[in-house]
Structure formats: C-alpha cells, structure tokens
Amino acid sequence: MLDFWFTENHTDDYKVSWRLNKVLYREQTPYQEIAIVEAPELGRALLLDNVVQTTTRFEFIYHEMIAHVPLMIHPQPERVLIIGGGDGGAAREILKHPSVKSVDLVEIDQRVIEVCRQWLPEISGALSSSKMNLFYTDGLKYIQEYHSHYDVVLVDCTDPSGPSLDLFTRNFYQDVFKALKEDGLMVSQTGSPTFSSHFREAVRSMGKVFPLTRPYLTCEPSYIAGFWSFTVGSKKYDLANIDPDRMLNIHTKYYTPEIHQAAFVLPKYIEHLL
C-alpha cells in the first residue's frame, strides 16, 4: 500500500495522521486552501487549510447533531439560516423537516460550495433544493442586516482561527439574537471541549446573550479524538422539551430523541470547565 499520510495538527503537542489513497483536488482560494482527499478510514474528505471538515464516512454524525437538535427544540421551524456549512450536509438534514419553508446559507468562499458539488455529491445534493438560497458573503456582515427574521440559526463554521474567530464572540451572538424571532434559537459548533479553550469561552459568551444556553456533545471520529461539542442558545424554548413523534418519518443514522436528551448530559470534568 502507498505510504502516503496526511497529518492534522490539533495542538502543538497532538497530531493525527490518516493514510491517503490519493489527493483528488487541491486549490488555493483567496480565503483558504481547499483539498479533497480519499482515505481508507474516512472515505472522501474535505480539508480546509489542512483541517478535516467533513468525511463521507462520518459526516452523518456531525450533520445530524448540528441540525436535528435545534430543529426539534423549535416546535415549528420555518425559516432557517446556516452560516458556513458550504458542504451542504447540515442543509440536507434541515430539509428533512417538513415545516421548513426556506433555508438561507451564507458561505464566505463560493469555491467551497462548487468543489463540494463536484466531489462530494452525496453531501452537497441538498444545496440544489428549491428551498435553498445561497449567499456568498461574510456571515458576520450578513447577520447584521436582519431583525426578528429567523426561527433557527446554525453556525457550521471552521474552528476558531482566521475568518472564523469572530463567529465565537459575544458581539456576534448578540447579532444572531437580534436576527432571531422572539422565540428563536441558535446552535454553533464549539469544538473539542478537551483540547480547546474556545469551548468554554464560546459557552460563556453565548450565555451572556441568551437566557437558555447549553452545550451538548457527540463523538465524531474524523475530528479530534473524544468529544465534539455544540452549544445551543435559546430565547424561549426549553432544550429538553421535544416532541419525539416528529422524528417518526425522518430517517437518520445517529440522531434519535433519546440521543437528544443524552447529548446534554455532560461528564463532570466538562461541567467543571464551564
């Protein structure tokens, strides 16, 4: 077998390597380096600046958890915004909810969408839905234009560095709060609680803006080993109070109403981080 490895640096002292079969595509855009690779343990993967963003083998875990948790907390989500998420995986899961009338997706780098459409069609297919509206601009600026407009906002961004850094700040969460209707809620991916201090800062910042803020966890083997976190900020709806029957006709491979409840239970050491 070809001895060809890709290494992702998680911290200065922790790296993970994946054997690659091949690099299918590579491009430097004004924002980042985009690569599509194929790896025996991941399937096809999208890398941005050498960080694994999504993989055909495990993407269902992350995308189901970033989408169904907030959409089930809201009793009737109709208008949804995704900031980032150019691969289309979160959009695919959101569109499984029949109440959803439109999904706006704001991606700063148009090439991410085009490359995913070409190389990851099983993830990006939903982007062609007539309910989708795509905007190629900075999510930070986009959100400032809206008042009481969205039921749910999802932040499906890269880890906090470079252009994503500001998507983890109190100012941004305040703008999202304003763009949400009076009973709206948001979710953001908030990284590894074990290997990144951004988790704690993001949860605390969101907690200063939203009356109900809680992190929840999953395990995504393509990312940093161990837990991966998301954080929900809600204006009104209780995070645990969901109607499980709404999932009866929605096909998933990871998410269930039971997983929903369990995901909010934090191990003691993570609770103590907050």
Q: Using CB under 6 A as the criterion, which residues of the chain lie in contact with ligand AG3 when the complex forms?
A: 51-54, 85, 87, 89-90, 156, 158-159, 189, 223-224
Q: Considering beta carbons, is residue 53 or 56 the nearer one to ligand AG3?
A: 53
Q: How far is the CB of 90 from ligand AG3 (least distance, A)?
A: 6
Q: How far is the CB of 213 from ligand AG3 (least distance, A)?
A: 20
Task: Write the burial class of residue 28 (CB in 10 Å: 0-12 exposed, 13-18 middle, 19+ buried).
Answer: exposed
Q: How far is the CB of 170 from ligand AG3 (least distance, A)?
A: 21
Q: How far is the CB of 183 from ligand AG3 (least distance, A)?
A: 26
Q: How far is the CB of 75 from ligand AG3 (least distance, A)?
A: 25
CA 173 – CA 210 distance, rounded (Å): 8
CA 98 – CA 121 distance, rounded (Å): 22
What is the distance of C-alpha 257 from the center of its chain?
19
From the list 229, 140, 236, 232, the residue with the least C-alpha distance to 186 is 232
Q: Considering beta carbons, is residue 176 or 237 the nearer one to ligand AG3?
A: 176
Q: Considering beta carbons, is residue 198 or 237 the nearer one to ligand AG3?
A: 198
Compute the C-alpha angle 228/168/79, nearest 5°: 85
Q: Considering beta carbons, is residue 61 or 237 the nearer one to ligand AG3?
A: 61
87 flagged as catalytic: no
Strand pairing report for 150-156 and 79-84: parallel
Match 């970033």 to its residue by tokens. Answer: 66
Q: Considering beta carbons, is residue 223 or 237 the nearer one to ligand AG3?
A: 223
CA dihedral 184, 77, 264, 220 (to 10 degrees): -120
CA 122 – CA 22 distance, rounded (Å): 19
Task: Write the burial class of residue 256 (CB in 10 Å: 0-12 exposed, 13-18 middle, 19+ buried).
Answer: middle
Out of 156, 159, 166, 238, the active site residue is 156
Q: How far is the CB of 87 from ligand AG3 (least distance, A)?
A: 5
Compute the C-alpha angle 185/147/110, nearest 5°: 80
Strand intervals (E) in the chain: 5-11, 14-19, 22-28, 33-39, 43-48, 51-55, 79-84, 102-106, 132-135, 150-156, 180-191, 212-218, 228-234
Q: Considering beta carbons, is residue 54 or 234 the nearer one to ligand AG3?
A: 54
Active site residues: 156
